Structure 1
Amino acid sequence: MFARILKIGTFHDVVGYVTRQFHDPKEYTPDTWRIIGSDNVFTSDYAKIVQSFETIHGFMPGKENPAGHISISFDNADAPRLTDEFMAQLAKEYLDGMGFKDTQYLIVRHLETEHPHFHIVYNRVNLHGKAVNERNNYKRSDKVVKALKDKYGLTYSPLKEKYEQKKPVFKTKISAAIYGCKSWDEFCRRLACAGIDVKFHDDHNTGEHIGVKFSDGDITLNGSKIDPAFTYRRLNNLFEFNRKHGHQQSDNATKQPNVTVEYAPSQKTSLIGDMMEATVGAIGNLFTLGPGFDPEEQAFQNAIKKEEAKRKRKSRKI
């Protein structure tokens, strides 16, 4: 069992598609589809179905593309069990799980393909004249489908299983690659070393990147399917943040106060020992400020020393 949330549209278009109004009647004959369930919809013909949906949509006429559309397909191994009644029951439980209650829906089974499947058309305006809650649809759909498969012992698609098994692998590798990363080029190089290829989806009009996919040569996954944080926009924002944050660190590093290192005389066993200790001490103090160091106090002491030096020079001239 696998659910696909398809593009929303008008009832004219979506209902017309599922009831084959715009298909070649010689190929898509009446026996290639049938309505197996509905709620609050007149199903006698295409015009009545559309009119039923549009009546409720009239409660919220400003709602654009009010027709929701979902396709649910099954593995061929489950075909003997998939009666119209069982499919309709699965559709109702799916809608309940998605939270699509108190709204019109139409369930249409298609019979012309090898894989058993049906389509759900639902009204995105409910019977109370309010918008149906569709937030996090994709995530909710995955959970509902998994629950139904487990409940009824439906077959997990081998390809779907492969995708689910590889998601955490992709996520681990991508999470490691983005650490401190400041550009897409750097990101792609890092992932290439981990056996992952980065592919972009471009806008047809502008040619700009708007999406990102990841492939290991076997399967390809959209970034958003792996984790919501791996969309093109969010990754791009992260790299930009890392670049700016890196510059700020560099600027701050150059503004660190100068540290005067003083060494107390001590007895050493050799000249080499004296040089080594002085070198190590100087290097350490260049990068580490002692807990008692006060930049303002140091500046004050330096000013006093300068004044004393001036007075000594004047006294010598006199």
Structure 2
Amino acid sequence: MFARILKSGTFHDVVGYVTRQFHDPKEYTADTWRIIGSENIFVSDYAKMVQSFEAIHGFMPGKENPAGHISISFDNADAPRLTDEFMAQLAKEYMDGMGIKNTQYLVVRHLETGHPHFHIVYNRVDMLGKAVDERNNFRRSDRVVKAIKDKYGLTYSPLKKKYEDKIPVFKERISQAIYGCKSWDEFSRRLACAGLEVKFHDDHNTGIRIGVKFTDGDITVNGSKIDRAFTYRRLNNLFEFNRKHGQQQSDYAPTRPKVTVEYTPTQKSSLVEDVIEATVGAIGNLFTLGPGFDPEEQAFQNAIKKEEAKRKRKSRRI
């Protein structure tokens, strides 16, 4: 069992896809799909289904792309067990685990492919006119699928197991590569050294870069599936922050050379004369500027010596 949370859209598009309205009718005939579950939906025909969804969406008309869409596939080894009734039950348990409750949904089984699977279409606006909670839905989906597989003894696909085993490896390598990184080019070079390739996804309408994924051999994983911190937007913001932070440090860096103070003693008649001479600014060769000179520290030392000189002069008058 493997769940894919697909891009949400309009009910016209998503319901039309799962019910094969936009496919070649000669190839996708009425016996290549069937509705195996639904709630709060008129299922007599495509138009009625869309109208049913749109009626509830009217409670929150500002909700964009209100049609949620999830595909759930199974290993062929489980095919003998996957009756329509059992699939409908699994769909309901999956939606309950995901928090998709008190809303409209449609479960459609596709029969023309080589592996058993069904599609869930649900209204992202519930029956009370509120938005369905979809926070952390990718992580939640992984937990729900695992619980269902364990409950019913469904097959763990070898490819899925390989995919899941790779996630911690990807996360560790990416976490190491982003430290102090200031650009995508730098990030890509670092990951290439770790054996990972960075690929991007652009919006097909605007051409704007919106996603990032990582590839290691035959395994490719979206950044958001590895960790929510590894989405394109968050990584891009991190690199921009590092660039600005690095620039600020260079802007505030002192431009004067760092010098040290080296004390060169001279022959003086008395200790008091040494102190006085230091107080008035190191006359003659008393001080030499070296590579670590700090004006603030020098001013502090001069102030101390000045106070000491005053005490000495006062004691001499007494």
For the aligned pair, the TM-score class normalised by the smaller chain equals 0.7 to 0.9
Residues 1:66 and 1:175: Cα distance change in structure 2 (over 3 Å): closer
Residues 1:16 and 1:215: Cα distance change in structure 2 (over 3 Å): closer
Distance 2:41 2:194 in 1: 53
1:64 aligns with 2:67: no
Q: What letter corresponds to residue 5 of structure 1 in structure 2?
A: I
Match of 1:126 in 2: 126
Q: What letter corresponds to residue 110 of structure 2 in structure 1?
A: H
Partner secondary structure for residue 7 of structure 2: coil
Distance 2:90 2:148 in 1: 8
Partner secondary structure for residue 200 of structure 1: strand
Residues 1:260 and 1:207: Cα distance change in structure 2 (over 3 Å): farther
**Displacement of 1:118:** 0.8
Match of 1:38 in 2: 38
1:151 aligns with 2:154: no
**Displacement of 1:180:** 2.0
Residues 1:237 and 1:298: Cα distance change in structure 2 (over 3 Å): farther
Distance 1:80 1:263 in 2: 95
Give the root-mean-square deviation of aligned CA atoms: 2.9
Residues 1:248 and 1:71: Cα distance change in structure 2 (over 3 Å): same
Partner secondary structure for residue 6 of structure 1: strand
Distance 1:132 1:105 in 2: 12
Match of 2:28 in 1: 28
Residues 1:296 and 1:227: Cα distance change in structure 2 (over 3 Å): farther
Match of 1:274 in 2: none
Residues 1:59 and 1:197: Cα distance change in structure 2 (over 3 Å): closer
Q: Is the 8 A contact 2:261 2:292 kept in 1?
A: no
Q: What letter corresponds to residue 211 of structure 1 in structure 2?
A: G
Give unmatched runs, 5+ long, in structure 1: 266-281, 305-318
| TM-score of the pair, normalised by structure 1 | 0.78
Match of 2:162 in 1: 162
Residues 1:62 and 1:154: Cα distance change in structure 2 (over 3 Å): same
Partner secondary structure for residue 221 of structure 2: strand
**Displacement of 1:3:** 1.2
Q: What letter corresponds to residue 140 of structure 1 in structure 2?
A: R
Partner secondary structure for residue 61 of structure 2: coil
Partner secondary structure for residue 24 of structure 2: coil
Match of 2:103 in 1: 103
**Displacement of 1:207:** 5.1
Q: What letter corresponds to residue 38 of structure 1 in structure 2?
A: S
**Displacement of 1:201:** 2.8
**Displacement of 1:74:** 0.6
> What aligned pairs does 1:202-217 form with structure 2 within 5 A after superposition?
202-204=202-204, 209-217=209-217
Q: What letter corresponds to residue 212 of structure 1 in structure 2?
A: V
Distance 1:67 1:118 in 2: 16
**Displacement of 1:259:** 4.0
Q: What letter corresponds to residue 263 of structure 2 in structure 1?
A: E
How many residues get paired? 282
Distance 1:163 1:66 in 2: 30
Residues 1:92 and 1:179: Cα distance change in structure 2 (over 3 Å): same
Distance 1:96 1:211 in 2: 29
**Displacement of 1:138:** 1.8
| Cα offsets for 1:80-136 (capped at 9, x unmatched) | 110111100000001111111111111111111111011111112211122212222
Comparing 36-45 with 46-55, greater Cα deviation is found at 46-55
| TM-score of the pair, normalised by structure 2 | 0.78
> What aligned pairs does 1:65-104 form with structure 2 within 5 A after superposition?
65-104=65-104
Distance 1:210 1:150 in 2: 35
Match of 2:300 in 1: 297
Give unmatched runs, 5+ long, in structure 2: 267-288, 307-318
1:260 aligns with 2:261: yes
Residues 1:49 and 1:250: Cα distance change in structure 2 (over 3 Å): closer
Distance 1:32 1:204 in 2: 30
Distance 2:165 2:151 in 1: 21
Distance 2:201 2:8 in 1: 21
Match of 2:12 in 1: 12
Partner secondary structure for residue 261 of structure 1: strand
